[in-house]
């Protein structure tokens, strides 16, 4: 099955194969740099997330790709759609802010109107859920700003199904990555 590819690799020589590997590594590094750059620009650890459940229907459906920002100079308002991560949970959750509570700091010299000085507590709920998310907070009564990954700014419907398919079927992920790696090695340019 791979006999032709192996003959091609032998014919190309070690130097050419090493060049192809270097090109492949450079593409991976570029992707990582773009991801980290997006994170710096948007001030969030994860500027793009995929909706994994139907808890936000009809606003977002499973497989929708969400674009996030986390502005430090803005307060979260009731109705904002946020992505948060609770300590101990691996998967971020996309839900709407149901309630907000602002507390002013008592620090000397601090301006009370400054968003950075005030502590903000949030309560969230999925649009398709009947109750709020207190059960999901794992012992917390409210979410704090440190739990918020970002605020949803835009989305692409159903584009994230590729990610869901690769997580549900790991063999597909390995086959796809292996095929791309083999293609990078065998490519003659």
Catalytic residue of the set 4, 46, 55, 64: 55
d(CA 122, CA 16): 56
Question: Is residue 65 a contact partner of residue 85, using CB atoms and an 8 Å limit?
Answer: no
Among candidates 123, 79, 80, which has minimal Cα distance to 99?
123
Active site residue 95: yes
d(CA 126, CA 58): 10
Catalytic residue of the set 16, 53, 105, 133: 133
Catalytic residue of the set 64, 95, 132, 168: 95
Active site residue 101: no
Active site residue 64: no
CB atoms within 10 A of CB 169: 11
The residues that are catalytic are: 55, 95, 133
């Amino acid at each position: 099955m791979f006999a032709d590819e192996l003959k091609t690799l032998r014919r190309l020589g070690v130097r050419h194969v090493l060049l192809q590997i270097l090109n492949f590594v450079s593409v991976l590094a570029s992707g990582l740099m773009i991801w980290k750059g997006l994170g710096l620009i948007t001030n969030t650890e994860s500027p793009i997330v995929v909706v994994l459940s139907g808890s936000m229907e009809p606003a977002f459906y499973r497989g929708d790709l969400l674009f996030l920002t986390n502005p430090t100079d803005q307060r979260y308002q009731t109705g904002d759609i946020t992505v948060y991560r609770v300590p101990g949970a691996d998967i971020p959750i996309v839900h709407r802010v149901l309630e907000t509570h602002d507390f002013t700091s008592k620090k000397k010299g601090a301006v009370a109107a400054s968003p950075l000085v005030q502590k903000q507590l949030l309560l969230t709920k999925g649009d398709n859920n009947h109750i709020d998310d207190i059960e999901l907070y794992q012992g917390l009564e409210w979410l704090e700003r440190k739990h918020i990954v970002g605020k949803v700014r835009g989305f692409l419907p159903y584009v994230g199904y590729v990610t869901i398919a690769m997580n549900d079927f790991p063999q597909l992920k390995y086959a796809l990555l292996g095929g791309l790696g083999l293609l990078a090695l065998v490519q003659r340019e």
